[in-house]
Structure 1
Amino acid sequence: MKFTFFTLLFTTYFFGFAQDTLVAKKSNLGLIAATEMNVVYRGVRNPIEIAVPHAKSYTISGLGVKKENGKYYIVPGAGNEMVVTLEIILDDDSKVVEEHVFRILNIGKVQGRINERNCKDCIVIMQISELQNAEISVYFEDFIIEQKMKVSSFSIKFDNTMNLEIAGNKIDEGTFNQLKKLKNNFEFKIHNINYTEGLFGSFQSAGEIHVRISH
């Protein structure tokens, strides 16, 4: 699983809180790395990275902030945004409190692709040669996090009587030989796409891929 991280840098604005405490709505002391657009997704564990240079210690808190095996995650709930609070103890034992705001988005539908191609409510037209070792993959619509998911199996339905189940993420040689026998403009459906992911959430089945053969 690969995530694209972006380090948040802020201009500092301090407000009096207590004798040895500074409350910072924005600060450049603590760095919280999340997605490029400062977004977290509802229903999954969003990994974050934290760095606080020149500090004795720090604590992070917020609704949906969790720690497991030394790593931090955000699991957002309801609403459109959430606040992560970072309390920093500096070398002189003074404390700075920072607030970092994240937008909360819902995950879009899971779509299937063949050789990185697909479209909504339409048919993918492919030359027969393009189907040899063609790779099946899946992706989330409107998903900023770069998420690589592995297809473990899929099915190809030629008509109401013939359905092939294929292990792995590519059209194998036997299936390709079957496809070569089909006539020009014949249409088939790739469905039942099974995939694994590392976001630790519940996701729907991947959408179907409709393909038309062009000789």
Structure 2
Amino acid sequence: MKQTFFFLALFITQLLVAQDNNISVISVEKANIVYRGIQNPIKIAVPGAKSYKVTALAGLTKKDSLGNYYLNVNGVQGKIVKINIEATFENDSIINEFKEFEVRDIPRPRANILSSYNKETYEMTLSQLKKLNINIVIDYMFFTWDKNYSKVMSFVIKTEGYEDIWIEGNSMTSKAYSALKNIRPGTELFIHHVRQYNPNNYCLRSVDPIKIIEEADYNIPIPEVSTKYGNTIVYRGIKDSLEISVPNAKSFKVKGKGLKMLPDSIYVIDTRKIKKDRTYLEFEIVNQNDSIIHTKQLLYIKDRDITPKKITVNGKGCSNCILKITLQELKDAVIDITENDEQSSLTQYQVLACNIKLPDGNNIDLNNDIITDIAFEQLSTLPENSIIEIEVYHSLFRYPLNLSPLKIMIVSAN
């Protein structure tokens, strides 16, 4: 079964490290959230333990010997699932602890055209209808997911006075267009029964139909909104600048909560007073035929994370100092980015690769966040009290971290 659904976390993913003053380090792909309907990959490490057992009131399956598991919460009725870790240490002491994760349903998928959000009614010309292309989007999921699940296998077009038209694939066919090319402006078309690619029967809800109104033959201007970083996410606590334009429009007006236009058509938005995690910009657009079009553009709102960050190895790390750690602790160790505040261990960054700088100036390159067997063999050749430096490469979502390398002294286990 394909296990990468929703979790190709290569560019804009988030990572939670469920770590505090306790014994274990548990990481999942999306904050402290797991989803029904999929196999949620999690990683568990217990630094210093000679063995440990992991149990959960859900489907927990061990993937390998490196601490990778899959958590299936389909049978969990409530909103919380607990994972129990029973760890045995070198002195044969046993410690039990629980970690809690929020259980959510996958948000409702919806059919989408023109790569445009939140348009309750799509206005299309005949020439645009001829190029109709449909895909599937899932809103409010902030990590990259498998593009295969955006594929539409088939859909049906309904309109008064015509037989239902079944179309295989995700785009208008020449045969279907021939049946519709003589419809009059103002005719309503409805797209129903959108069938989505889902070979493994993941728990996806049905998509909403699309309503199309055929208008006179002119181009429909589409608003373009982005931050200077090229995304549609703004942050509380700062005034974000926005790039707003409507190509092919004669003119437009835009308004939204906290939105202001500065001289030279520069826009800024302040979302400190908006409690929800999203807001809309409302557009009034005058096209080349002097028709007025109203539409909306969605912006996501996130709390800006200003807590200092540091690089850690199996949850251990320090800022502007040298961390003493045994060679054995480096075996299969998890390298991560965590917050200096021990009361809060959330991070919005996933380590994609690492560079270990050796005392002789050579480097060990890692293509993930785990010290591999090959890397461990190289580290094993270093003399005691050798100092290495670890740098990480992560998926920057917005703000650069400018993290200092983690300096580690390899010490004796005694």
TM-score, normalisation: structure 2? 0.41
User: Is 1:49 aligned with 2:42?
Assistant: yes
User: How far off its partner does 1:84 sit?
Assistant: 1.7
Report if the CA contact (8 A) 1:58-1:88 is conserved. yes
Q: Provide, for residues 31-62 of structure 1, a one-character-per-residue CA deviation record: whole Å limited to 9, x for no partner.
A: 32231x321234x1241231427665443221
How far does the alpha carbon of each residue in 1:36-93 deviate from its partner, in whole angstroms, 9 at most, with x for none? x321234x12412314276654432211132176551231512222212234455776
Aligned match of 1:32: 27
Pair 1:116 & 2:115 matched: yes
1:129 aligns with one of 115, 118, 127: 127
In the aligned structure 1, how far is the partner of 2:207 from the partner of 2:191? 10
- Quick check: 171-180 or 205-214, which moved more? 171-180
Task: Name 1:8's counterpart in structure 2.
Answer: 16
Q: Which amino acid aligns with 1:196?
A: Y
Alignment partner of 1:175: what SS?
Answer: helix
Query: Which amino acid letter does the alignment assign opposite residue 41 of structure 1?
Result: Y
Structure 1 residues 80 and 183: CA distance shift in structure 2, 3 A = same
Q: 1: distance between equivalents of 2:204 and 2:106?
A: 9
Cα 1:110–1:9 shift into 2, 3 Å:
closer
TM-superposed CA distance for 1:208, in Å, is 1.0
Cα distance between partner residues in 2 of 1:9 and 1:108: 23
The structure with the largest strand share of the pair is 1
Could you tell me which amino acid in structure 2 is paired with residue 100 of structure 1? K
Secondary structure at the counterpart of residue 129 of structure 1: helix
What residue is the counterpart of 2:198 in the other structure?
197
Q: Relative CO higher for 1 or 2, CA cutoff 8 Å, sep ≥ 6?
A: 1
Going from structure 1 to structure 2, the CA distance change for 1:203 and 1:49 (only over 3 Å counts) comes to closer
Question: CA contact under 8 A between 2:191 and 2:210: conserved in structure 1?
Answer: yes
Equivalences for residues 26-175 of structure 1 within 5 A: 29-35=24-30, 37-42=31-36, 44-52=37-45, 56-67=50-61, 71-76=69-74, 77-89=76-88, 97-117=96-116, 119=118, 122-140=120-138, 142-143=140-141, 146-147=144-145, 148=147, 149=149, 150-159=151-160, 161-175=162-176
Cα 1:164–1:100 change in 2 (3 A) is same
CA deviation profile, 1:3-32 (whole Å, cap 9, x unmatched): 24643335532xxxxxxxxxx2xx5x4232
Aligned partner of residue 190 in structure 1, secondary structure: strand
Is residue 84–residue 98 contact of structure 2 (8 Å, CA) maintained in 1?
yes
Unaligned runs of 5+ in 1: 14-23
- Contact in 2 for aligned 1:65/1:84 (Cα 8 Å): no
Question: Residue 124 of structure 2 aligns to which amino acid in structure 1?
Answer: M
Equivalenced residues, count: 199
Aligned to 2:399: none
Structure 2 equivalent of residue 21 of structure 1: none
Going from structure 1 to structure 2, the CA distance change for 1:51 and 1:127 (only over 3 Å counts) comes to farther
SS for the counterpart of 1:174 is helix
- Cα distance in 2 between the residues matched to 1:171 and 1:95: 63
What is the SS of the residue equivalent to 1:131? helix
The more displaced of 72-81 and 165-174 is 72-81
Please name the residue that 1:181 is paired with.
Answer: 182
Cα distance in 1 for residues equivalent to 2:210 and 2:61? 38
TM norm structure 1: 0.72
After superposition, the C-alpha distances for 1:144-195 in whole angstroms (9 at most, x for unaligned) are 5654422111111122541111111122233234443222222101111111
**Residue in 2 that maps onto 1:19:** none
Measured in 1, the distance between the counterparts of 2:206 and 2:166 equals 16
Over the aligned positions, Cα root-mean-square deviation in angstroms equals: 3.2
Whether contact under 8 Å (2:79, 2:104) holds in the other structure is yes
Please report how far the alpha carbon of residue 203 of structure 1 lies from its aligned counterpart in structure 2 after TM superposition: 4.3
Structure with max Cα Rg: 2
Q: Deviations over 1:84-120 (max 9, x none)?
A: 2234455776655443221122344342222334647
In 1: Cα distance, 2:26 partner to 2:138 partner: 28
| Structure 2 CA distance for partners of 1:68 and 1:113, relative to 1, 3 Å | farther
**How far did residue 200 of structure 1 move?**
4.4
Q: Residues 159, 8 of structure 1: CA spacing in aligned structure 2 closer, same or farther, 3 A cutoff?
A: same
CA 1:109–1:12: 2 relative to 1, 3 Å: closer
Contiguous gaps of at least 5 residues in structure 2: 218-414
- CA gap 1:146/1:93 in 2 versus in 1, 3 angstroms: farther
Percent sequence identity over aligned pairs: 22
